[in-house]
Amino acid sequence: MNTDLEPPRVPPLTAAEHARLRNRVLDKARPAAHRPARRWVAPAVGVGAVAAVVAGTLAVANNSSDDASVAGTTLQASPEAKVGVDLGAVQQRDLAKIVTECQFPGEGGPAQIIWSRHVRGITKDSTALVAVALNTKKAPAPKTTVTRGGRKPGTGGAPSDAKLGYRYCLTRTPASAKLGSVGSVGRVPDKNWQTQPTDRRALVTLGSENANLTYARTTLQAWAVYRALPTVATVEARYVLDGQPGPWTKGVVEDGFAYTEVQARGKFAVGEKLTTEVRAFDARGKQIPVG
């Protein structure tokens, strides 16, 4: 007997038969808990979504924290404000309005405008001009109290902590009784003006108001002017009223200064105030501590 016979030839498998055979072998070898592989897709997506929500929550909660990272990961946040206040540069024809507003009665003038911006108003059919200015011409203090636009600057001249002559001011246009307080001016304390922003305190407040009301008392407004760190590209603010936060509102950052403004709607009493939360971001969307 010839035992040295060649085995019969087996025709080659087609691509489909090869794939089917391979899948059958792998399916028998794979533990039951791991079949089929497609089941792993949904849990992976779910984990990613949860991580994104957590990261977003941390970024929002870190409004004024000095911590730049959590668990070794740098916080990145995209500004989420849907409403902005910036209306551009102040037109030449409007400069006279704000120069007048930036002077106290009895001062020599005109005031020197250092920074200005055209911003939204306290009503839908109004706007405002905000500025930082310097009184370069001193004059004797007025002998009597003068009131303009609801302001009472007093008779004693500049206080001892504001001798440098810097001030912040805001005028509303068009002038209308329903706007409530039409104009506002306040002195910048010398200490505030001389304080420079830092990496741990990107915004230095020069002046603010948190109790502006429309005449009908249906809109309560808060606004503030800051000196800003050069790396600040975006500022946002929101009010907190009765423990409930309002929406984030995008402010203005320009030439080393910044302005934020928020508005709440309702029925308010004279003297009621808005608490404001502020946050800042650099050009890459990284949140910067504001102090």
13, amino acid identity = L
Q: Is the pLDDT of residue 182 over 70?
A: yes
Tokens 């002077």 locate to 103
**By mean pLDDT, which of 43-52, 82-91, 233-242 is the weakest?**
43-52
153, 135 contact by CB (below 8 A): no
| Model confidence, pTM | 0.69
Residue 249's CB: how many other CB atoms inside 10 A?
21
Q: Is the pLDDT of residue 19 over 80?
A: no
| d(C-alpha 280, C-alpha 201), whole Å | 10
| d(C-alpha 176, C-alpha 128), whole Å | 12
Q: Is the pLDDT of residue 45 over 70?
A: no
Tens of pLDDT, residues 62-86:
343 333 333 333 444 456 778 899 9
Q: Is the pLDDT of residue 6 over 60?
A: no
Three-state DSSP class for residue 277: strand
- Between 32 and 208, the more confident residue is 208
The per-residue pLDDT for 43 is: 32
Tokens of 241: 């009223």
Tens of pLDDT, residues 142-156:
444 444 454 444 445
Mean pLDDT in residue range 217-242: 96
Q: Is the pLDDT of residue 95 over 80?
A: yes
| d(C-alpha 156, C-alpha 195), whole Å | 26
Sheet holding 183-187, edge to edge: 112-120, 127-134, 166-173, 183-187
The per-residue pLDDT for 250 is: 96
Name the pairing type of β-strands 249-250 and 83-84: parallel
| d(C-alpha 106, C-alpha 146), whole Å | 9
Q: Is the pLDDT of residue 222 over 80?
A: yes
Percent of the chain with pLDDT over 70: 66
| Residue 46: band (very low, low, confident or very high) from pLDDT cuts 50, 70, 90 | very low
Residues paired with residue 201 on neighbouring β-strands, in sequence order = 198
Mean pLDDT in residue range 245-266: 96
Residue 37 region, left (φ>0) first, then alpha (ψ -120 to 50), else beta?
alpha
**By mean pLDDT, which of 22-26, 41-45, 180-184, 251-255 is the weakest?**
41-45
